[in-house]
């Protein structure tokens, strides 16, 4: 039991776990967090990624690129109705087509379960795209032909696509409990709402909607599966080899040791490639049926339709303020469009939305109502910054509207309601760099020169706007890492992660190089194979990879270093306590002439020396109790609106982010810029447009969907790292991947208002919506 201590935050006393006692790894190793002003050699610097050369030469092998001898190609027949029972399924023509090796459906594949309510191959489909049958053939083209030869007879049943319609009495009922997930809204409450509103001088209420943004990863969803000698090996386009491995074992009722999942390179995930989908199980089943490796990838159309997406949300915010801007009450409601099946997608549809409203601003009286609604569509999922992005796109526009009503500067209103305490649990934050973020962003951007009205030049109007950034940190699940030292002096960090491409490999290498004090070139990183790596992270979601795995890597490096020092003592024939190490040289403190360089010492390893490899083990334990990790920031943009076309162009942006200690300032910049660009896409262009009758996505392609291209990118996007000294873990990191998406919508919408005087509360802010609003405002 770690020691507790008392700290005072905002005038109140909190009992929390003492970080110096709590930050020990398994086995009692103690590693204090790096000091605030500690000089570090490798951490906090710009280094190119470790996995680099193969990406620019085309040698990098993604799951999409894996080709095995005798590999077959699979395609899936999908339902063409949003709710229907299968009356007949005729596969004989497909089976007879030359080159076809297997056809699976509910008829011959038994009831291979998918989850508690459905089989992998359905005989009652609930959405357009549900899996009905699958074909394995010699080429993808033949598999395509064969799927077209399968005949299905349906009994069509009533369905519902529109979220409001699904909530009406008499709508087709999709689940035994009705269309609201598990029968009733999820409500979170604190304080006294009525009292809060009674105390308000100003009450404001507005409704905002956000669109179904799609992850649109360049590498489509899929895998190559090979079931051989009772062992299933899967090369997967996944964010986490361990989670995919564990879930596949569970779905197929295999021992975990009989499933191996590999991911050397991932072509985009953004939350859509965690865990398993039906296609994983289908590929495995086809491999078992044919004895051959199976390649099964969705095409682009299927990806847009089925791989999950950010939910459509309708958010109503009502809040009361004192004249000075202090919040007295918030009543928040979100309706989110979910899918047909009772799965995790229902959580992302609405319950996940709303945490910034609950947490970001100090408000004693609050109610949050989350209403996830079933419709006959595919399930939504986690999409980079899930929940917080949808919520902040609404909340940060709302705060701007409130600031205007209260005649306050938008930053002043936010500062007035600043809190250093995580309100749902009444726990202080380990660190909160929100104030510093506002300050630094404003200074870099030139916020004080903000004009309430726009500059006008012909049909072009310019304006500026800002938004807060918020993402929830984690409690720090246990995480393991290994650091192996080879006889030639190579330091190998071994971590169980996939490769999302954000640079976790170089970050872990920097941490190990820092701890051991070896040049970064001597460190390599082994990863991406569930069979050969420890459990560093189940899957890279939640911006946790560095935050969770980094402290374990540091622990493992420290353990390896201790063992190296013992080896050096033996080499130098002095006691362990007499050995010191610096700059690649081990020396005896008592006799400085006694020394050996790094490779002389590691040269004592190896089987010929009667020794094996030196393996350092590291484990990260949870954060010290009693405090919360959250991630903050501020984003500011300048836009130019063309009142003739309605087009909104972002000219420049300043992105100030508090993510604790930045480990690699080069990849940090890439992450923040990239996240902001995805947020910009969601704010201005991106939306799954569905046919109102069938739910088929009408723009299920890159051309019409509208991911930002080179021409949509602001010339200037400045990243300002805000370094808070966070004591939740031994590397002071908090997480970075997702927060940069969350601020773009509010900042852009507020800048649009500043430029034109019109509010668009319905994302994406398309030219037609802008023109309509401008016309209505005249």
Partner 1 sequence: MATTKGDERLRMSRRSFLKGMGVGAATSTALATGLVKPRAGKAAVPPLVEGLSYVPVELKINGRRYALTIEARRTLADVLRTELNLTGTKIGCDRAECGACTVIVDGRAMYGCSLLAVNVQGREIETIEGLAKNGRLHPLQEAFIEYDAYQCGFCTPGQILAGKAFLDKKKSPTLAEVKQALSGNICRCGAYHHIFEAVLAAAKKL
Per-residue contact flags (x/-) with partner 1 for residues 389 to 428, judged by CB under 8 A: ----------------------------------------
DSSP 545: I
Site for partner 1 (CB under 8 A): which residue of 11, 58, 69, 176? 58
DSSP 649: E
Under rule CB under 8 A, residue 4 binds partner 1: no
Binding to partner 1 (CB under 8 A): which residues in 211-250? 215-220
CB 411 within 8 A of CB 466: yes
Report the distance separating Cα 232 and Cα 248, nearest Å: 9
Under rule CB under 8 A, residue 702 binds partner 1: yes
CB 470 within 8 A of CB 358: no
As measured in angstroms, the least distance from the Cβ of 455 to partner 1 is 22
525-550 as b/e: b if 16+ CB within 10 A: bebbbbeebbbbbbbbbbbbbbbbbb
Under rule CB under 8 A, residue 377 binds partner 1: no
Q: Which is nearer to partner 1, 205 or 691 (CB)?
A: 691
As measured in angstroms, the least distance from the Cβ of 763 to partner 1 is 18
Binding to partner 1 (CB under 8 A): which residues in 99-118? 99
**Which residues, including other chains, have CB under 8 Å from residue 542's CB and lie 6 or more apart?**
474, 735, 738
Report the distance separating Cα 728 and Cα 742, nearest Å: 23
114-139 as b/e: b if 16+ CB within 10 A: beeebbbbbbebbbbbbbbbbbbbbe
Q: Output the furthest CA–CA distance in the chain (Å, rounded).
A: 89
Site for partner 1 (CB under 8 A): which residue of 231, 625, 696, 774? 696
Rg, Å, the chain Cα set: 28
Token code pair at residue 227 = 């079931």
Binding to partner 1 (CB under 8 A): which residues in 502-531? 502-503
Token code pair at residue 540 = 């890279």
Token code pair at residue 45 = 């610097």
Binding to partner 1 (CB under 8 A): which residues in 337-356? none
Q: Which is nearer to partner 1, 563 or 670 (CB)?
A: 670
Token code pair at residue 733 = 């990191």
Strand bridging mode 366-373 / 186-190: antiparallel
Q: Which is nearer to partner 1, 302 or 726 (CB)?
A: 302
Under rule CB under 8 A, residue 301 binds partner 1: yes
Strand bridging mode 366-373 / 421-422: unpaired
Stretch that binds partner 1, among 70-78, 159-167, 251-259, 521-529 (CB under 8 A): 70-78
Under rule CB under 8 A, residue 48 binds partner 1: yes
As measured in angstroms, the least distance from the Cβ of 268 to partner 1 is 5
| Phi/psi at 206 (5° precision) | -145, 160
Report the distance separating Cα 308 and Cα 344, nearest Å: 11
Under rule CB under 8 A, residue 13 binds partner 1: no
Instruction: Identify the H or E element spanning 111.
Output: none
Report the distance separating Cα 623 and Cα 478, nearest Å: 9
Binding to partner 1 (CB under 8 A): which residues in 434-463? none
Q: Which is nearer to partner 1, 135 or 406 (CB)?
A: 135
As measured in angstroms, the least distance from the Cβ of 341 to partner 1 is 18
Stretch that binds partner 1, among 53-61, 457-465, 516-524, 720-728 (CB under 8 A): 53-61
Q: Which is nearer to partner 1, 51 or 639 (CB)?
A: 51
Per-residue contact flags (x/-) with partner 1 for residues 628 to 667, judged by CB under 8 A: --------------------------------------xx
Stretch that binds partner 1, among 62-70, 245-253, 437-445, 511-519 (CB under 8 A): 62-70
CB 237 within 8 A of CB 219: yes
Under rule CB under 8 A, residue 313 binds partner 1: no
Q: Is it true that the peptide bond before 590 is cis, omega within 30 degrees of 0? A: no
Site for partner 1 (CB under 8 A): which residue of 18, 26, 95, 144? 144
Residue 600: burial class (beta carbons within 10 Å; 0-12, 13-18, 19+):
middle
As measured in angstroms, the least distance from the Cβ of 458 to partner 1 is 20
**Which residues, including other chains, have CB under 8 Å from residue 169's CB and lie 6 or more apart?**
none
Per-residue contact flags (x/-) with partner 1 for residues 533 to 572, judged by CB under 8 A: ----------------------------------------
Residue 439 to residues 26, 361, 634, 669, Cα–Cα distance (Å): 40, 17, 9, 19
Under rule CB under 8 A, residue 689 binds partner 1: no
Under rule CB under 8 A, residue 123 binds partner 1: no
Site for partner 1 (CB under 8 A): which residue of 9, 60, 249, 689? 60
Under rule CB under 8 A, residue 699 binds partner 1: no
Site for partner 1 (CB under 8 A): which residue of 36, 701, 775, 777? 701
Per-residue contact flags (x/-) with partner 1 for residues 704 to 733, judged by CB under 8 A: ---xxxxx-x-x-x----------------
Under rule CB under 8 A, residue 673 binds partner 1: yes
Q: Is the dihedral of CA 20, 25, 29, 34 positive or negative?
A: negative
CB 375 within 8 A of CB 432: no
CB 368 within 8 A of CB 354: yes
Site for partner 1 (CB under 8 A): which residue of 348, 676, 753, 763? 676
Binding to partner 1 (CB under 8 A): which residues in 149-188? 149-154, 156
SS3 for 765-777, per residue? Answer: CCHHHHHHHHHHH
Q: Which is nearer to partner 1, 84 or 572 (CB)?
A: 84
Under rule CB under 8 A, residue 268 binds partner 1: yes
As measured in angstroms, the least distance from the Cβ of 12 to partner 1 is 41
As measured in angstroms, the least distance from the Cβ of 652 to partner 1 is 12
């Amino acid at each position: 039991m770690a020691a507790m201590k008392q700290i005072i935050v905002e005038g109140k006393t909190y009992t929390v776990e003492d970080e110096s006692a709590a930050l020990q790894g398994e086995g009692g190793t103690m590693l204090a967090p790096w000091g605030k002003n500690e000089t570090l050699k490798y951490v906090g610097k710009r280094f190119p990624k470790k996995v680099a050369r193969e990406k620019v030469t085309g040698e990098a092998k993604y799951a999409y690129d894996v080709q095995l001898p005798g590999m077959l190609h699979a395609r899936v027949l999908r339902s063409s109705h949003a709710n229907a029972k299968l009356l007949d399924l005729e596969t004989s023509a497909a089976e007879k087509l030359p080159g076809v090796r297997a056809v699976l459906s509910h008829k011959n594949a038994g009831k291979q379960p998918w989850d508690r309510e459905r089989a992998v191959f359905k005989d009652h489909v609930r959405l357009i795209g549900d899996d009905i049958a699958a074909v394995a053939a010699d080429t993808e083209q033949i598999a395509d032909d064969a799927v077209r030869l399968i005949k299905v007879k349906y009994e069509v049943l009533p369905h519902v696509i529109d979220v409001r319609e699904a909530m009406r009495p008499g709508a087709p009922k999709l689940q035994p409990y009705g269309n609201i997930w598990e029968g009733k809204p999820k409500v979170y409450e604190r304080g006294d709402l009525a009292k809060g509103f009674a105390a308000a001088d100003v009450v404001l209420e507005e409704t905002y909607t956000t669109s179904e943004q799609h992850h649109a990863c360049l590498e489509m969803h899929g895998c190559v599966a090979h079931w051989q000698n009772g062992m299933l090996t899967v090369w997967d386009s996944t964010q986490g080899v361990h989670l995919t491995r564990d879930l596949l074992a569970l779905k197929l009722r295999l021992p975990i040791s009989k499933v191996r999942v590999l991911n050397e390179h991932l072509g985009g995930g953004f939350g859509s490639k965690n865990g398993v989908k039906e296609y994983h199980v289908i590929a495995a089943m086809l491999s078992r049926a044919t004895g051959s490796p199976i390649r099964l990838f969705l095409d682009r159309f299927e990806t847009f339709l089925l791989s999950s997406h950010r939910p459509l949300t309708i958010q109503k915010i009502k809040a009361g303020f004192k004249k000075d801007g202090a919040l007295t009450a918030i009543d928040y409601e979100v309706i989110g469009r979910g899918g047909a099946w009772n799965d995790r997608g229902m959580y992302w549809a609405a319950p996940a939305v709303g945490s910034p409203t609950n947490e970001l601003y100090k408000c004693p009286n609050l109610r949050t109502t989350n209403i996830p609604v079933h419709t006959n569509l595919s399930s939504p999922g986690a999409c980079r910054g899930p929940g917080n992005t949808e919520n902040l796109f609404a909340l940060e526009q709302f705060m701007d509207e409130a600031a205007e009503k209260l005649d306050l500067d938008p930053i002043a209103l936010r500062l007035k309601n600043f809190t250093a305490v995580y309100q749902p649990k009444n726990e202080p934050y380990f660190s909160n760099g929100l104030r510093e973020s506002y300050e630094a962003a404003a200074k870099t951007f030139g916020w004080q020169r903000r004009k309430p009205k726009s500059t006008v030049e012909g049909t072009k109007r310019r304006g500026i706007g800002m938004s807060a950034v918020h993402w929830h940190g984690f409690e720090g699940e246990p995480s393991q890492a290994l650091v192996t030292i080879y006889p030639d002096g190579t330091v190998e960090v071994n971590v169980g992660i996939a490769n999302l491409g954000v640079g976790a490999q170089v970050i872990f290498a920097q941490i190990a190089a820092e701890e051991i004090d070896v040049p970064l070139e001597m460190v390599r990183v082994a990863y991406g194979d569930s069979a050969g790596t420890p459990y560093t992270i189940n899957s890279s979601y939640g911006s946790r990879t560095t935050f969770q795995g980094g402290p374990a890597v540091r622990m493992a490096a420290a353990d390896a270093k201790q063992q190296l020092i013992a080896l050096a003592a033996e080499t130098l024939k002095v006691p362990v306590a007499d050995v010191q190490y610096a700059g690649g040289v081990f020396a005896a403190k008592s006799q400085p002439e006694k020394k050996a360089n790094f490779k002389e010492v590691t040269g004592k390893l190896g089987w010929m020396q009667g020794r094996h490899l030196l393996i350092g083990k590291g484990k990260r334990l949870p954060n010290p109790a009693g405090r919360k990790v959250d991630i903050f920031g501020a984003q500011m943009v300048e836009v130019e609106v063309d009142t003739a076309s309605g087009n909104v162009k972002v000219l420049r942006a300043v992105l100030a982010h508090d993510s604790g200690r930045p480990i690699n300032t080069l990849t940090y910049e890439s992450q923040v810029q990239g996240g902001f660009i995805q947020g910009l896409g969601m704010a201005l262009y991106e939306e799954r447009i569905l046919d109102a009758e069938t739910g088929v996505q009408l723009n299920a392609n890159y051309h019409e969907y509208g991911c930002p291209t080179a021409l949509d990118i602001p010339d200037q996007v400045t990243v300002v790292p805000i370094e808070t000294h966070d004591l939740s873990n031994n590397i002071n990191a908090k997480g970075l991947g997702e927060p940069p998406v969350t601020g773009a919508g509010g900042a852009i919408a507020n800048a649009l208002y500043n430029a034109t005087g019109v509010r668009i509360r319905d994302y994406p802010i398309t030219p037609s919506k802008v023109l309509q609003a401008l016309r209505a405002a005249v």
